[in-house]
A and B are shown apart, each in its own frame.
Chain A
Amino acid sequence: MDKIDLLQGTLDMLILRVLARGEMHGWGIVDRLAQLSRNALKLGEGSVYPSLYRMESKGWIKAEWSASDNNRKAKYYSLTKAGRKQLEAEQKNWDQLSAIIAEVMQNA
């Protein structure tokens, strides 16, 4: 199966959704996305980072260096309150949008 491109702007939402379950480091997010999408998304692994940095400076997520499993310091991201709100808003928006698109595509 060909991998498909992610819709513009949806990566942020996906990352927020993934982080909603708990804190995670960069490659963990990539693994989780791959697992959830069953490897169907075409995504350079590094592309999560600009997204993470953007959301961090917007205050949706926060980053912290803490000890990882192998006792090295790694950077962990987690949702902030503002991030949770943002996720809710985007989720709602997405649901509406996809419903409308589905309806249009079916009934046109």
Chain B
Amino acid sequence: MSSLRQALVRVFRFFRPRNFEAEMAEEMRQHLEQRIQEKIADGTSPNEAREAALREFGGLTQFQEECRDEHGFPPLETFAQDVRFAARTLRKNPGFTAVVVLTLALGIGANATVLCWLRNLVLRPLPGVAAQERLVVIASNQGGGCVSTDDLRDIAGLKAVFEGALASQISATSLEVDRQPEWTDAQVVSADFFSLLGVQPLLGRTFLPNEDLKPDGNPVLVISERLWRRRFASSRDVLGRTVELNRHAFTIVGVVPDGFHGTMPPSNYDLWAPRSMIWEVRNQRLDGRSARGWHNLARLKPGVTLAQANAAVATLDAQLARSFPDTNRYARHRVLPLSEAPWGGQTIFGPVLRLVLAVVGGVLLIVAANIASLLLVRATVRQKEIAIRLAAGASRARLIRLFLTESVLLAALGGGLGLLFAKWAIAMLPHVMAYFLPKLTVPLFLEFHLDGATLGLTMLVTLATGIVFGLVPALQASRSDLNTVLKQGGRTAGSGAAQHRLRNALVIAEIALALVLLVSAVLCVKGLERARQVDFGFAPDHVLTAGLQIGMNGYTPETGPAFYRKARAQLATLPGVEEAAFASWFPLGFGGDKGADARVEGYVRPEGAEDQTYEFAIISPRYFAVMRIPLLAGRDFTDRDDATAPNVAIVNQAFAQRFWPGQDPLGRKFWSRGGWRTIVGLTPTGKYNRLDEPAHPFFYLPYQQGVPELDLNLCLRLADSTSSPPANVEGFAPTLRQALHDIDPAVGLQQPRSLAAQVAVFFGQRMATTLLLAIGGVALLLAAMGVYAVMAYAVGQRTQEFGLRMALGATAGDLLHHVIRQGLRLAAGGVVAGTALAFAVTHLLANFLYGVSPFDPATFVGVPLIMAVVAAIACYVPARRATQVDPIVALRAE
């Protein structure tokens, strides 16, 4: 208690040093005054009185010094001194300080930025949701990881591990308020959606238990505060109001706060309906155990681990497989952390951001190595000053503290600036995304802020960096031998073997790290280049797509086909249009496709086969013509393939190969989507979801036999003349809109976009490549700076030696060679180490390298060469300086 008090008193006093000094002086002055007055009163002369008083008092300054020692808080006091001293030193070397602070700001800022992105996009992606760390996703091995509500209900029933589980799906909907329609993104969700997420309504209520059970039963809506402000002027009357969603009347029952954006981050949702209303919202039914089309989230009980949850689910899977062999024999479910959800932003951003975080971490290491070597160089320059301090009695500990204070101060300045930089970069995220994803349809919420975790981690990194790069030169400098330094006048003392080795090691490490980053960047560029040349199996250029969603405009499954027939016929005759078709889905997009069960008479599934669903698309005639997908055999669908005609299908080669290896698939039958279908056509196996996916079965169904799929997307192949360059494809939209209006004014065109822009497979590669290239360039620059600093220093130290060599007849060329050779030895060390390191890590890039080996020989030869050339250039400048030494001046200098 008393020592705490004492510490507090001292800390408090530390901040008032002026008062302390003044009060101490005043106190002692009064003491002397008192004595002088006494003596004068006794009859002594004023001068004598003063002298006597001072004599009797003793050493005034000595006592004052002792008082300061007794009074102050020595560590803090010296710390303050150190800080002042360090600040003065840094101010005296503005160039050095600027380089260090700026590079550090870059390193720390980049790390803080990426950490913030990663946290907000991947690790804790659900703003406004309580206790996200206990949220997990249930991923099935079918339907792109989605689950059926029946399976999910049984899984949520595992009360020992789960508190509950929610199901959701997304849909763009047409919301009409006061006869003003607009596209709004909605989620259909299970009744416990809000309660499980811990989202409390701002107004009204969220969904009631069991409100989601009766199909088409409860047309109620919960809306976001955003929508409430925008469309309802924040009026309290919104509760109980009826609005039209896709031409169906819904009643608004609640408003949820702005902080909540739905559960498919970073997309933003403003409307929620119970899942019983999925037909009205999505024009789709997803009932039964085999309808594995639901996104989901589950909440773990506190203290339950993923492994425990997975074990419980595996046991349940086995039971379900026995109880429901038709639907669940091959179905397996896994419990994944939120950050590894197989849908949403996590799938897109997770791998890229993790890679980028590793890369900026590497840059921070390079920055730290760079700064350490700069500090080391400076420490050797200051050797004499240090030796004098040691001789004058400064303790080694004190010197180390001095150096550490300096480096931590540098780190703090760099960190502070870095956070400013990060703040700016984080605010730029929407623009970055707009650059990489120019055609994203769903509005995103990307307004992140530096959060406590990121700030804390950044501060920790800053402090660690400061200590690490300060400790090395500090220990080095304070270990130096006093006698040698003073004798040698501090000139050559820094060239001691140990320091030499350390400096060289730092430069080698820098070059090696930069090389790893550059190799990775170049591999990514090559991968992207290769990916662009891949045969997708279709030609996205000159294709314009748009959503129609006629189900929202009053069409039914019965009347829909007539509209599509008419629209296709009329649009195909528009000038500039070569082909027109409809499809439920386009390949290689963000949308993902649909999976369905398929059975073939006599086909026995091999034991252990994972997925029993096959991907399919519902298309109109001429789809293959629009997409330029060739028909290898058989025929295209026609308008006569309607509900009254025999069911038909077109399959890809992988499908044929799976069920009828080596035989002609035409005329064969398989069962899917509620009926037997006869194969009438065969297409090559293309790319459907990812460029690197293995060849897999895929089939197409004609739209008139594919109910309940009412909403299709339009796709048009435009003549080269109307859409050149390809970006101009979207310039055709107004013409298309008008043409569609002529066909049926009630049907709106949703987001006309070029298909090429939607081919999203490049997103990860593009982002990784661009960032890696930029960061690799910075790393190259930093490494060059490191080489330059060390070589320039070495040359400076040896001025005298060079003068002597020249005096003895060495030519400028000799010296140039000599210095460059020395520098290149360093570079060679770095290049060899870096190449080895790159070999060890590039396999981690495999996801981003389409068709390029992580050990691509050309890259592994070319990039080290470039590095060596850059290092040579960095050596050349100081080497030139060595040749310009004037022997007379150099020799006289000492």
B30, A46: Cβ atoms closer than 8 Å: no
B-side contacts of A46, CB under 8 Å: 28, 31, 57-60, 63
Cα A49 to Cα B32 in complex, Å, equals 13
Chain B CB within 8 A of A40 CB: no
Chain B CB within 8 A of A50 CB: yes
B9 to chain A, nearest CB (A): 6
B2, A49: Cβ atoms closer than 8 Å: no
List A residues 24-75 near B (Cβ within 8 Å).
Answer: 25-27, 30, 44-47, 49-51, 53-54, 56-59, 65, 72, 74-75
Cα A30 to Cα B59 in complex, Å, equals 16
A104 to chain B, nearest CB (A): 33
Cα A74 to Cα B60 in complex, Å, equals 19
B63, A50: Cβ atoms closer than 8 Å: yes
If over half of B's interface residues share one DSSP class (helix, strand or loop), that class is named, otherwise mixed; here it is helix
A55 nearest CB neighbor, chain B only: B70
A19 to chain B, nearest CB (A): 16
Chain A CB within 8 A of B35 CB: yes
B6, A58: Cβ atoms closer than 8 Å: yes
A8 to chain B, nearest CB (A): 15
The 8 A CB mask of B23-39 against A (1 = contact, 0 = none) is: 11011101100110000
A82 nearest CB neighbor, chain B only: B2
Cα A47 to Cα B65 in complex, Å, equals 11
A21 to chain B, nearest CB (A): 20
B27, A54: Cβ atoms closer than 8 Å: no
A-side contacts of B479, CB under 8 Å: none
B-side contacts of A57, CB under 8 Å: 6, 9-10, 70-71
Cα A58 to Cα B67 in complex, Å, equals 13
A45, B70: Cβ atoms closer than 8 Å: no
Cα A84 to Cα B667 in complex, Å, equals 109
B-side contacts of A82, CB under 8 Å: 2
A-side contacts of B57, CB under 8 Å: 44-46
A-side contacts of B237, CB under 8 Å: none
Chain A CB within 8 A of B601 CB: no
B-side contacts of A56, CB under 8 Å: 71
B177 to chain A, nearest CB (A): 71
A49, B67: Cβ atoms closer than 8 Å: yes
A47 nearest CB neighbor, chain B only: B58
The 8 A CB mask of A78-101 against B (1 = contact, 0 = none) is: 000010000000000000000000
Cα A30 to Cα B28 in complex, Å, equals 13
Partner of B63, one of A49, A58, A75: A49
A-side contacts of B447, CB under 8 Å: none
Chain A CB within 8 A of B558 CB: no
Chain A CB within 8 A of B178 CB: no
A26 nearest CB neighbor, chain B only: B31
B67, A44: Cβ atoms closer than 8 Å: no
Cα A27 to Cα B10 in complex, Å, equals 25
Chain A CB within 8 A of B535 CB: no
Partner of B67, one of A50, A59, A74, A75: A50
A-side contacts of B6, CB under 8 Å: 57-59
Cα A65 to Cα B241 in complex, Å, equals 74
Cα A19 to Cα B889 in complex, Å, equals 72
Residue with the highest number of chain A CB atoms closer than 10 Å, among B26, B28, B66, B70: B70
A16 to chain B, nearest CB (A): 15
Chain A CB within 8 A of B693 CB: no
A75 nearest CB neighbor, chain B only: B27
B2 nearest CB neighbor, chain A only: A59
B9 nearest CB neighbor, chain A only: A57
Residue with the highest number of chain A CB atoms closer than 10 Å, among B2, B27, B56, B60: B27
B9, A59: Cβ atoms closer than 8 Å: yes
Cα A27 to Cα B26 in complex, Å, equals 13
Cα A54 to Cα B31 in complex, Å, equals 19
Chain A CB within 8 A of B892 CB: no
B10 nearest CB neighbor, chain A only: A57
A49, B28: Cβ atoms closer than 8 Å: yes
List B residues 584-611 near A (Cβ within 8 Å).
Answer: none
B-side contacts of A47, CB under 8 Å: 58, 63
Chain A CB within 8 A of B487 CB: no
Cα A44 to Cα B70 in complex, Å, equals 18
Partner of A59, one of B5, B56, B69: B5
B38 to chain A, nearest CB (A): 9
A27-B35 contact, Cβ under 8 Å, with A59-B5, A59-B6: yes
Cα A75 to Cα B26 in complex, Å, equals 9
B35 nearest CB neighbor, chain A only: A27
Residue with the highest number of chain B CB atoms closer than 10 Å, among A45, A51, A74: A45
B66, A44: Cβ atoms closer than 8 Å: no
A26, B9: Cβ atoms closer than 8 Å: no
A51 to chain B, nearest CB (A): 8
A-side contacts of B23, CB under 8 Å: 65, 75
Cα A26 to Cα B63 in complex, Å, equals 13
B19 to chain A, nearest CB (A): 11
A-side contacts of B5, CB under 8 Å: 59
Cα A101 to Cα B861 in complex, Å, equals 87
A-side contacts of B2, CB under 8 Å: 58-59, 82
A72 to chain B, nearest CB (A): 8
A44-B58 contact, Cβ under 8 Å, with A50-B67, A57-B9: yes
Cα A56 to Cα B58 in complex, Å, equals 21
List B residues 1-50 near A (Cβ within 8 Å).
Answer: 2, 5-6, 9-10, 23-24, 26-28, 30-31, 34-35
**Residues of chain A whose beta carbon lies under 8 Å from any beta carbon of chain B:** 25-27, 30, 44-47, 49-51, 53-54, 56-59, 65, 72, 74-75, 82
Q: A27-B31, A45-B35 are in contact. List 8 more A-B contacts (CB 8 A).
A: A30-B31, A46-B60, A49-B28, A50-B66, A50-B67, A57-B10, A57-B71, A59-B6
- In order of increasing CB-CB distance, the 10 nearest A-B pairs are A44-B58, A50-B66, A46-B63, A54-B70, A53-B70, A46-B58, A46-B57, A53-B71, A53-B67, A27-B31
Chain A to chain B contacts (Cβ below 8 Å), 27 pairs: A25-B30, A26-B28, A27-B30, A27-B35, A45-B31, A45-B57, A45-B58, A46-B28, A46-B31, A46-B59, A46-B60, A47-B63, A49-B24, A49-B27, A49-B28, A51-B70, A53-B66, A53-B70, A54-B70, A54-B71, A57-B71, A58-B6, A59-B5, A59-B6, A65-B23, A74-B27, A75-B27
